[in-house]
Amino acid sequence: MSEPESHAQPQPIGVSSAAFALLVCVLWGGNIVSLKIGLTAIPPFWCAFWRMLFGAIVVTIWAAGRRVPLWPPPEERKGLLWLGLLFTAQIGLMNAGAVMTSPAFGEVIINSYAVFANVVAHFTTSHERMNGIRAIGLLLAFSGLCLVAMGRPDAVLAPRPLEGNLVMVASSFLLGVRQVYTRWLVQSIAPARAVVWMIGISVPLFAFGALINREPMLTGPLTAAPVLAVLYQGIVVAGVCFVGWAWLLKRHAAGQIAMFSFIVPFAGMTFSATLLGEPLRAGLLTGAALALGGLLLVTLGGRLRRSRN
């Protein structure tokens, strides 16, 4: 994947960008917890459909308010199509994994995507090369990811934990690839337009998936909890967080921004323990700590590399 001539050099992360990234990550921490709650009444494909439909409405209104043209010129359409397909596959795997494993384990695994984002960025971009410290950090983070993936969540929240964890690992890998690809794509495409089409392409695909799999619209009582959970996923996560993340990726390197994802699993574990009563066992906390420590080393390695240039 070659970089276009308009590809901008990433800017250093300042206080305002860091604060905004932290806020987005805390809000993102409720993603899988709200997904788990929504799945009590709405099956996976329909849950994804409603989430993305609400998200598409939010980002379209935001883009229209900023007078961003939403219809892409011919040269952008292929890139946006691939982004939408990649996004649909990643979210589909995440929803499938959430049915089988617990929110706390899912949050740690899915948000270890920074491991994959840094590896992919190393081979596809000239300004995010690996060095010794970053490589050690990635190995440490990967060991934490493996420890969590092989762990055993609470049986009540995780009917098929190992299978669910491995599906979440696959989704995490695709999320890492998508972050790097989005960073590359939004250098020549308005971030709002990229997010609108990324989500918009997924909406009919999730509806098609639900029909092909003969999913019922509801699998349980449609109470306030699953409705609010789907609205949170659509308006907050698929709307506010996606637009905010695309804005950050346009200005900063994907590997650097991905480092803020260490906030998300801890926010997610807190939400899951508080709202769903999930016990936070030693293996989960140890794996999360290893992943966090490794990603912090990656961040340090990146700063040392930049200071020497």
- Measured CA to CA in angstroms, residue 174 lies from 29, 87, 182, 245 at distances of 18, 8, 12, 16
Q: How many CA atoms lie within 13 A of 178 on its CB side?
A: 28
pLDDT score of 242: 77
DSSP state of 213: T
Closest to 3 measured CA to CA, from 130, 154, 123: 123
pLDDT score of 135: 83
pLDDT score of 154: 85
pLDDT score of 247: 78
pLDDT score of 309: 46
Q: What is the dihedral angle through the alpha carbons of 244, 246, 248, 250, rounded to the nearest 10 degrees?
A: -150
Helices marked H in 68-223 — which ranges? Answer: 74-100, 103-110, 113-124, 132-149, 161-185, 191-212
pLDDT score of 2: 34
Question: Hey, what are 4's tokens?
Answer: 């276009």
Buried b / exposed e over 128-166, threshold 16 CB at 10 Å, is: bebeebbbebbebbbebbbbbbebebbeebbeebeebbb
pTM of the model: 0.84
- Helix or strand (DSSP H, E) at 22: helix 15-28
Question: Hey, what are 161's tokens?
Answer: 């934990």
The per-residue pLDDT string of the chain (309 residues; one tens digit each, 9 = 90 and over) reads 333 333 456 777 888 888 899 999 899 899 999 999 999 999 999 999 999 999 999 889 888 887 888 899 999 999 999 999 999 999 999 999 999 999 999 999 998 888 888 888 877 775 666 677 778 888 898 899 999 999 888 888 999 999 999 999 999 999 999 988 988 898 888 888 888 999 999 999 999 999 999 999 999 889 999 999 999 999 999 888 877 877 787 788 766 776 677 788 889 999 999 999 999 989 999 999 998 888 778 766 655 455 444
Closest to 295 measured CA to CA, from 116, 62, 31: 116
